[in-house]
Structure 1
Amino acid sequence: MSETNAAEADDVMMCRCASCGATEADDIKLKTCTGCKSARYCSIKCQKEHRSQHKRACKKRATELRDEVLFRQTEGTDCPICLLPMPLDPDKLAMISCCGRKICAGCEFANALREIEEGLKPTCPFCRLPAPRDDEKTFEVNMKRRAEVDDPAALQWMGVECQQKGDYSGAFEFWTRAAELGESESHYQLSVMYHGGYGVEMDEKKKIHHLEEAAIGGDIVARVNLGVLEQGNGRFERAEKHFTIAANLGCEDAINKLRHLQLRGFMSYEDLDTVIHSHQAALDAMKSSQREAGEANLRRAAREGGYDL
């Protein structure tokens, strides 16, 4: 059967109940199987009766659909001001409590420099409202207020605060709320909790679920961890896919892991070379003169404070 005929056959099947064959009409509404999206039923009764015949194909197709989403190349987050891809190093980012935004250190530095040169009062680099007082208490109050209105970034931050105080129950609550709103870093933190049993029972299935959701959302650490897990299970092709996605976003650790796969014969040199070029392009896209100036300022402040970045 040709691809065209197969597609037409699938379309016909989707117009009928997979169990009794009833077609959709005014008095019959077919509902799609939530697992595989490839079968429809006119009633719960028909779906249950067809379950034994459909179970294996449903599971296989659901896995295929999940992999299509999981191994889709994600895009990095852009700084909302300069619109360049965000650096992967968290030390090169700034969190603004008034509007809950993360910006690159370059934009933070450029805004501060402009205000000094023009004699302006400090304002938020993003929303341009008067900048909140630069102290921990004010920052905490602002983040709590934002968490109350379900700001994902604030919920993530509150979870970290609870974790650092040993309040795993509170951390779990905040990260769960943030994850439900699509906050990828919170999904990753939940995977860590389920891995180590921090405030919850250890659960490998839930750990993997949250790791995958974090990776789908663009979390680099989660993506690399999934690659390490697949490599440990001997599934080198899946590991290569995870590492490649992370490397294409500029992750140095992922590139090193791909080199290791290539040396062991699980990846061709040609494929590795292609990824290396994509990796370098991602790093080049993150560069700008104001970011270099901002990072130099951070390093200078670190030295004056007696520590190294």
Structure 2
Amino acid sequence: KRAAELRDELLFKQPESTHLGDCAICMIPLPIDLDYSTIMSCCSKIICDGCSLANTMRLMEASLGQVCPFCRKPAPTEEESAKYTMKRVAANDPVAMCQKGAKFYVEGDHSSAFEYFTKAAKLGDVETHNHLSVLYHDGHGVDRNEKKEMYHLEEAAIGGHPRARYNLALIEGRRYGRYDRATKHYIIAAGQGHDGSLKWLVENHKRGLIKKEVLDAALRAHQAAVDATKSPQREEAKEF
């Protein structure tokens, strides 16, 4: 019982940041929408679009070839990118392992995807815990297992993954009827800037299930999280 209580204390603690952390260049929190950042295959660093655009413009003005904004290696071809990834996999880079696993998953090789995701998760990669929860839910590359699905979702949520926490909330409410736990997850995810979680809170406030003060606090936390990811360079990149 005490172990379960300690687990919940860890699970329902508001993470200091999302699993993505900060851009490796500007050190501003990365947006949770992955469309606005890039994982560099050469160094496994995540660079926001604002810094990527600034780097591109600077190099163009100097008539220089494109290089990675972080490690300064020349922009790789598709073949070189694959080699970089495997080199980093060999060096036990969990981000590269996650990328390799994701590639196998898209190609339909779920067993290999499971192998790479499992290795990356053991090395502490949060994203792969989320991927593993999907594999255990769908029974792809591994037998379906609801207990392990929940475990990996919880590990991802503890690591700051807002989408995983949102999915965890859905399961807690719809599958198990544990609405108090689900609501806590929605509140935490909304505080990380997750739009779907905030929408759930708004809709359930209209139904009289969420108190106004709870919703107001969630709205403020959500806006603060979104504002923290903004910068002039990122806004320029969106316009560009």
Asked if these proteins are the same fold (TM beyond 0.5), I'd say yes
Match of 1:249 among 192, 207, 223: 192
**CA–CA separation in structure 2 for the residues paired with 1:81 and 1:171:** 30
1:235 aligns with 2:178: yes
Residue deviations 1:251-292, cap 9 Å, x none?
111100111232233320111011101111111111111111
Match of 2:11 among 48, 70, 77: 70
Residue number among 102, 106, 113 corresponding to 1:160 in the alignment: 102
Secondary structure of the residue that 1:94 maps to in structure 2?
strand
The answer to whether the 8 A contact 2:112-2:141 is kept is no
Is 2:29 the partner of 1:88?
A: no
Q: Which residue matches 1:101?
A: 45
Aligned to 2:232: 289
Q: Alpha carbons of 1:106 and 1:62: their partners in 2 closer, same or farther (altered >3 Å)?
A: same
CA contact (8 A) 1:124 1:131 kept: yes
Q: Is 1:111 aligned with 2:68?
A: no
Greater RCO (Cα-Cα under 8 Å, separation 6 or more): 2
CA deviations 1:188-229 (Å, max 9, x no partner) are: 111111111101111111110011001111111110011111
Once residues 138 and 249 of structure 1 are traced to their aligned partners in structure 2, the CA distance between those partners, rounded to angstroms, is: 35
**2:105–2:113 CA contact under 8 A, matched in 1:** yes
> 55, 65, 80: which one pairs with 1:138?
80
Q: After TM superposition, give the deviation of residue 176 of structure 1 in Å.
A: 0.3
Alignment partner of 2:87: what SS?
A: helix
Equivalent position amino acid for 2:81 in 1: F
| Residue 183 of structure 2 corresponds to residue 203 of structure 1 | no
Counterpart amino acid of residue 229 in structure 2: M
The one-letter code sitting in structure 1 at the alignment partner of 2:64 is L
Query: Of the candidates 172, 185, 193, which is equivalent to residue 114 of structure 2?
Result: 172
How far residue 88 of structure 1 moved from its aligned partner, in angstroms, is 1.2
* Cα distance in 1 between the residues matched to 2:25 and 2:196: 28
Alignment of 1:42-53 (within 5 A): none
Residue 183 (structure 1) aligned with residue 159 (structure 2): no
Distance 1:234 1:267 in 2: 16
3-state secondary structure, aligned to 1:227: helix
1:120 positional shift: 3.3
Partner Cα distance (1:263, 1:228) in 2: 19
Letter in 2 for 1:64: E
Please point out which of 148, 160, 178 is paired with 1:218: 160
- Per the normalisation by structure 2, the TM-score is 0.94
Distance between the aligned counterparts of 1:220 and 1:197, measured in 2? 23
What amino acid is the match of 1:138? E
Is the contact between residue 259 and residue 272 of structure 1 (CA under 8 Å) also seen in structure 2? yes
| Residue of structure 2 in register with 1:49 after alignment | none
- Distance in 1 (alpha carbons) for counterparts of 2:199 and 2:73: 44
Spell out structure 1 runs of 4+ moving beyond 3 A.
none
Query: Any unmatched runs of 5+ in structure 1?
Result: 1-59, 298-309
Aligned-residue CA RMSD in angstroms? 1.3
Cα distance in 2 for partners of 1:236, 1:260 equals: 15
**Alpha-carbon distance between aligned partners in 1 of 2:206 and 2:170, rounded to the nearest angstrom:** 16
TM-score, with length taken from structure 1: 0.74
Residues 152-188 of structure 1: CA distance to partner in whole angstroms, max 9, x if unpaired? 1100000011111211111011000000011111011
Give 1 or 2 for the bigger CA radius of gyration.
1
Q: Return the alpha-carbon distance in structure 2 between the equivalents of residues 151 and 130 of structure 1.
A: 18
Among the aligned pairs, what percent are the same residue?
Answer: 45
Contact 2:163 2:194 in 1 (8 A): no
